[in-house]
Structure 1
Amino acid sequence: MRYGIVAFSLFGLAIASTGCSRDAVDVDFSADAGRAIRFEGRCGDATRAVPGDPADGKVPVYWCDGDAVSVACEQATPSVGRYVLTCPDEFSVSASFGSGDSQQWGEGLHDFYAFSPADAPDLEISGDGTVKASLPSVQECRDGLLDPALLYLASAEEGISPESSVVTLHFRPVVTLLDISFAASEATEVRQIVVRSTQAGEKLAGTFVYDLGADRLGRVDGGSNVVAVRMLQSDGTPGVKLAAGESCRAIAVVLSQSSFVGLRVDVVTAAGVAGRSCAEPLVGGKRYAIELGALPAMNDAARRKLYASWMSYLPDDALLSALSIPGTHDAATSTLNLWSKCQSLSLGAQLNAGVRCFDLRPTGTDDLMIYHGTSTGVTFDEAIAAMDRYLAACPSEGCIVQMQRQGDAGNDATFRSRMGDYLNSSSAYRDRFVDFRPDLTLGELRGKILVLTRSDYDGALVGGKIASWQDDVTDQISSIVNGSASAKLFIQDKYGGTTGIDNKKNAIIAYLDKAREKAESEWLFNFTSLATAVVTTPKSNARTLNPATCDYLKVHPGCTGVVMMDFAGDTDVSGDELLRAVIDQNFYCHLPCVR
């Protein structure tokens, strides 16, 4: 074996890489055609199972008993075999292959293509030297150790004679390892490490095609330019708690490219986010040590940065239906009085605080004025314009509008005509709108607005239609549709004056439980708003319901669906804590993605 080491200094990131060259194949002419083929695997510094610490310019990564390898050969019978490895000691650079799915020699020279692990997601290996597999964009790092099942390796041995007694497969890495370390300047809880490529179209994870013979990554389908590594304790508990001065390590696995340009690493903590970027190219298929040093103390700016662009720290292929999304009930009512006021912040301020779903209720007037008992002074177009401005500044984010006609002014015919015209043609923001699909991803929502309407309008449907929405119900099953596309929708929107605040609290909690249990592709809206009686106001009810919802999430974390709250971001009624608690579920809990 020949080893190499390369060192870079990139904006405070110390980066070292190691490589491994292929050895020549040893041929022993002693077997006959038609006999079982025997394999062994070998590689000195880049095998699959257990990564060790760099030493003498090498990064030892060892085979372990039970590792599985798939071997494909068009000239052999069968053409693909699966083998379980046997190692001579606990950590080994060599292994023998069990007879499991034994392949037999055929006529002529043989080309062997091997891939490890044999049980990689979506694995398809063919005898022509191509492999298809999937690298997840959400990974897990437990006590600084990564899942060895993600350390994909490939081998290509071509032109082997059937007279060979043993075929030695020399493995090389398909993926790139980023060994990230940092220290805490203050006591904190680390929830997630995020690796992002700032280059458009560069995918760090997803379903990929790899040419084993040419050692080249080909097409990457779907996928993400963001890899999120969940930080777990040794027992699997989410979040790693660090004392001041304590160090932490995580390993991220990303797909090999010819080079990476514009890579950024961010550390998401309970108090905010911090990280660094590097502009120099990193060669794919290596292992890099990335030293972030001591994280800066998290302040209000670090917290605002995290929540103002929280979607940017999540993978593109995350299912939109599986996200935890904070929303605002009667979103445009910050200008109204005590009885009709449901929000303190303007739409622009809500967006900056992290709100991503907006309940808008335009009337059947020519200007589609939004009402809640009285005019808010905000038209539907002005609300969309506020989202447009925000998305232009933060293209990593996306918005959802849950819209219905409010009957306080105008008429249904005018609403149908004006809204249909606006969504289909007259809006200056027509290109912002995206159509609904059950498997819509965050990447497809970035920079876009998904309009889900409860009210019919003229012209083509833009976004999606909520098929039914009964008034003042604790639990309703509906659906979101667009043509033949449909997804189940659960709705909790009990707000009536006879409900009682304890009953409302129980309804909210029941739907938080339902959100954790629902299928990944199912949608859920959970309203925390309540209008109980003349002696209470939306704000006085929020003063009880917001902290109660937040407290329950602290004890029962998980996907929340869309939580439509009153006074989001308002510190006076814990609206700021609830908003952040909903967003935090995306970093704290497993996030399902399209595969």
Structure 2
Amino acid sequence: MTDEMASSADWMSNLNEKFIEIPLSQLAIPGSHNAMAYSLDVDSSVLEPKKLKSFDKMFGSFLRPIVKKWGTAQDKTISEQLEAGVRYFDLRVAGKPESSDFFFYHGLYTIMTVKEGMTELATWLGQHTKEVVILSFSHFKEMLDSQHSELTGFLKEHFKTKLCPKTQMPSLKACWENGYQVVLSYDQSGVNDDPLLWPRIQYWWADNSDPKEVISYLNNQKQKGRPEGFFVAGLNLTIDGNDMLLYLMKSLKEKTMSAYPLLLDWVKEQHRGSDGESINIIAGDFVGANSLVQDVIRLNSADIVHENPTD
């Protein structure tokens, strides 16, 4: 492991003391959009988009490789993403009619089950005891209320005392003192009373394929003021499914990587702090393929901590 990789793997434990004592919602945190979409199963049924799902039975052998090409949003494993410094994970879960397991998905089901993915993550946390992750479970498909109870029960039992309760926004220092390493957000009605399940984390999503429009959208969101608690600025592009020629000729990675130079320029201009324009989590596709993670982490190395003018 190189020195840079080692510092990224433990970047939280290496922060300046003033960043250790502020709320996690005021740190700049690198995030992974559709974090598990490196493990898509080309042999599984199509879950989305809806306009293609109906053609799966008839044209699946032709359709699924295309869906996988555009659904694959990451190319690093969860351990590799953690090593690179990613600390926010966008996790989308689906049930399978023919299986008792839960799977991640993005267009297709993943090969890796939720239990396998969370076991890999927990193992890594056990080796990096001062690193804290934010897990955002959302966009559930093919799941009954009883399955939500089963999944949340597994997650609470799996992470046990590593789970940070939602009583108040913690700092890294508070997490270290209490042995907390996991903030667990679960975006489903009926779990609001559970002290270990944090509510939905707001995600700023431009829903656009043009990086200039994504940047404009994010700047407009910042003008509206800082949300309470955790929030995500999403750098991920949305691809117009009506352009079939683009679908056939290119991939999500090609489209994303060509847009990143502009997006990374925007990242480098940001800062973190308690004022209304600061950034918290910044998430993107294909994390680890460029300097995104490092650029976000560096936002925590400013010489001053921005304060509210009214303080």
TM-score relative to the length of structure 1: 0.40
* Cα deviation, residue 543, structure 1: 1.5
- 1:564 aligned partner: 283
- 1:505 aligned partner: 215
**3-state SS of 1:307 partner:** helix
1:530 matched to 2:240: no
Change (3 A) 1:510 1:390: farther
Change (3 A) 1:465 1:554: closer
**3-state SS of 2:295 partner:** helix
**Counterparts of 1:443 and 1:382, CA distance in 2:** 29
Show CA shifts across 1:447-468 (max 9, x none): 51111121236683523112xx
For 1:328, the aligned partner's letter is S
Q: Which has the higher strand share?
A: 1
**3-state SS of 1:363 partner:** strand
Q: 1:398 aligns with which of 116, 128, 132?
A: 132
For 1:419, the aligned partner's letter is L
- 2:102 aligned partner: 368
On the 8 A contact 2:130/2:181 being kept in 1, the answer is: no
On the 8 A contact 1:399/1:449 being kept in 2, the answer is: yes
**3-state SS of 2:5 partner:** helix
Q: 1:443 aligns with which of 162, 170, 173?
A: 173
**Counterparts of 2:306 and 2:218, CA distance in 1:** 23
Show CA shifts across 1:67-114 (max 9, x none): xxxxxxxxxxxxxxxxxxxxxxxxxxxxxxxxxxxxxxxxxxxxxxxx
For 1:568, the aligned partner's letter is V
User: Which protein shows a greater Rg?
Assistant: 1
CA RMSD of superposed structures (Å): 2.7
Q: 1:541 aligns with which of 255, 269, 292?
A: 255
For 1:404, the aligned partner's letter is S
Q: 2:292 aligns with which of 566, 578, 582?
A: 578
Q: Percent identity?
A: 21
- 2:73 aligned partner: 342
1:415 matched to 2:147: yes
Please give the residue correspondences for 1:127-138 in structure 2 after superposition, counting only pairs within 5 Å: none
Change (3 A) 1:538 1:455: farther
- 1:492 aligned partner: 204
Change (3 A) 1:445 1:547: farther
- 2:58 aligned partner: none
For 1:456, the aligned partner's letter is S
1:329 matched to 2:33: yes
- 1:304 aligned partner: 5
On the 8 A contact 1:318/1:591 being kept in 2, the answer is: no
**Counterparts of 1:507 and 1:301, CA distance in 2:** 36
Q: 1:518 aligns with which of 226, 234, 237?
A: 226
On the 8 A contact 1:385/1:429 being kept in 2, the answer is: no
For 2:182, the aligned partner's letter is I
**3-state SS of 1:435 partner:** coil
Change (3 A) 1:465 1:451: same
* Cα deviation, residue 378, structure 1: 2.0
**3-state SS of 1:389 partner:** helix
Greater relative contact order (CA < 8 Å, ≥ 6 in sequence):
2
For 2:137, the aligned partner's letter is M
**3-state SS of 2:183 partner:** strand
**Counterparts of 2:218 and 2:303, CA distance in 1:** 20
**Counterparts of 1:412 and 1:551, CA distance in 2:** 43
For 1:340, the aligned partner's letter is G
Change (3 A) 1:545 1:560: farther
On the 8 A contact 1:333/1:376 being kept in 2, the answer is: yes
**Counterparts of 2:252 and 2:167, CA distance in 1:** 34
**Counterparts of 2:33 and 2:136, CA distance in 1:** 9
Q: Which runs of 5+ in 1 are unaligned?
A: 1-299, 467-479, 481-488, 571-575
Please give the residue correspondences for 1:62-81 in structure 2 after superposition, counting only pairs within 5 Å: none
**3-state SS of 2:70 partner:** coil
Please give the residue correspondences for 1:430-469 in structure 2 after superposition, counting only pairs within 5 Å: 430-446=160-176, 447-456=180-189, 460-466=194-200
**Counterparts of 1:397 and 1:589, CA distance in 2:** 23
**Counterparts of 1:420 and 1:353, CA distance in 2:** 27
**3-state SS of 2:124 partner:** helix
Give the length in aligned residue pairs: 258
Runs of 4+ in structure 1 deviating by more than 6 angstroms, as ranges, are none
Q: Which has the higher helix share?
A: 2
1:319 matched to 2:53: no
**Counterparts of 1:529 and 1:306, CA distance in 2:** 26
**Counterparts of 2:121 and 2:293, CA distance in 1:** 18
**Counterparts of 2:120 and 2:2, CA distance in 1:** 22
**3-state SS of 2:268 partner:** helix
Q: Which runs of 5+ in 2 are unaligned?
A: 41-67, 273-277
On the 8 A contact 1:364/1:405 being kept in 2, the answer is: no
**3-state SS of 1:404 partner:** strand
* Cα deviation, residue 522, structure 1: 4.1
**Counterparts of 2:23 and 2:195, CA distance in 1:** 22
**Counterparts of 1:420 and 1:553, CA distance in 2:** 34
TM-score relative to the length of structure 2: 0.73
Please give the residue correspondences for 1:94-105 in structure 2 after superposition, counting only pairs within 5 Å: none
1:382 matched to 2:89: no
**Counterparts of 1:361 and 1:346, CA distance in 2:** 16
* Cα deviation, residue 548, structure 1: 1.4
* Cα deviation, residue 589, structure 1: 5.0
On the 8 A contact 2:163/2:196 being kept in 1, the answer is: yes
* Cα deviation, residue 332, structure 1: 0.5
On the 8 A contact 2:268/2:299 being kept in 1, the answer is: no
